[in-house]
Amino acid sequence: MINSHKIAALAATLTGVLSLSASPAMAFSIGTTNNTETLKKHLLGTNTAGLTDFSVSVTGNNAAFGTFTNDPFGLTSGVVLSTGKVNNIPGQNRKHNLMTDGSDLNTDFGLRGEQGDFTQLNLSFFANSTVEKLLFEYVFASEEFPEFGGSEFNDHFELLLNGTNLAKLSDGKTVTINNLVPDPHNRSTDHRDYINNPTMTGIAANVIKLDGFTKVLGFEGFLKQNQTNVLSIRLQDVGDGNLDSAVFIKGGSVQTVKAEPVPEPMTVGGLMAGGAMLAAGRKLRRRQ
C-alpha cells in the first residue's frame, strides 16, 4: 500500500503528465461504440497530409470498444479498447484482486477460450512519398496489476505497423504485465513506466477502476511510401479471460512526420559547382 507521502511525491513527479482529479463538470467518461467511422474520426489528427483512403475494421466484442473524455492520464480524449466492457472502467477503484470475483473489472467474453479475450482495431491507409513516419500517444492499463505480475496471466498490448510491433516501454521492452510488474512481492522491481493505482488510495482511484497503468507512451514507426499501410491495435488477455486490460489512444494524435526532401542532382548550386569544376579543368588543361 502506498502511504500519503509517497502518493504526494508521485503526484508531484507526474505534474504536467497526469491530470489526477476530475471536477464534476469535467468527469472522466467513456461511451461504448464499435462504429468504425466514429472510431476513425477520433483516432485521426489534423496533421495527416500525405495519408488517404482510410478504413477501420474491428475484431472482438461490441462492448470492448469506445471513446473517452477527461481521462486521468492527461490524454484529454480519444479511443479506448478493452478485454472487458469499456463502460465499466470509470468509477472508484474499490476492490482488491486477491480473487477474480473480488475485482472491479472482470468481464470474460469467452473469446478464444483459455487463451483469453482478444480485441483488435485495424486502421488501413495509403501513404504517399511526402510522409515518412506515423506516430501517436497511448496508455496501457490493467486490472491484473500488481498481484498477477510475473505470472502466466501476462496480458499484453501490441501496436503493429505492417506486422512489426512498435509498442515499447522506454527501455525497449514490450508492453506486458510481466515487464511492468515482474515481481509483485518486490515492488522495487516495478518498471519506471508503471504507475500503481491501488484501491481507495491510488492517485487516480477516485475516477478509474483499473489497478495500474503506464505513463503516457509514444509510438513511432516508418511508413511504406506509395503503398497501403496497416496499423493494428491489439489487446490480449493471456491465460484466461479474467481481469480486464485496456489501452487508451490519444484522440487526434495519429500524426505523420514529413519526409525530408532529397535534393535534385542538377540544382542551381550543383550547376554552379559543376561549372566551376569545368572551368578549373579547362585552366588545368591549358597549363599542360
- What's the pLDDT at 74? 93
Amino acid identity, residue 121?
L
Q: Whole-prediction pTM value?
A: 0.79
Closest listed residue to residue 259, CA positions, set 126, 125, 133: 133
Report the C-alpha gap between 64 and 48 in whole angstroms. 27
Residues above pLDDT 70, as percent of the chain:
72
pLDDT of 239: 53
List pLDDT tens digits, range 128-140: 999 999 988 999 9
SS3 at position 157: strand
2-11: buried (b, 16+ CB within 10 Å) or exposed (e) per residue?
beeeebeebe
Which pLDDT value is given to residue 238? 66
pLDDT of residue 260: 59
Q: Which residues of the chain have pLDDT under 70?
A: 1-25, 96-116, 238-242, 259-288
What pLDDT sits at residue 237?
Answer: 72
Q: Please give the pLDDT value at position 72.
A: 95
Q: Are 162 and 232 in contact (CB under 8 A)?
A: no
- pLDDT tens for residues 153-172? 778 889 999 999 999 999 99
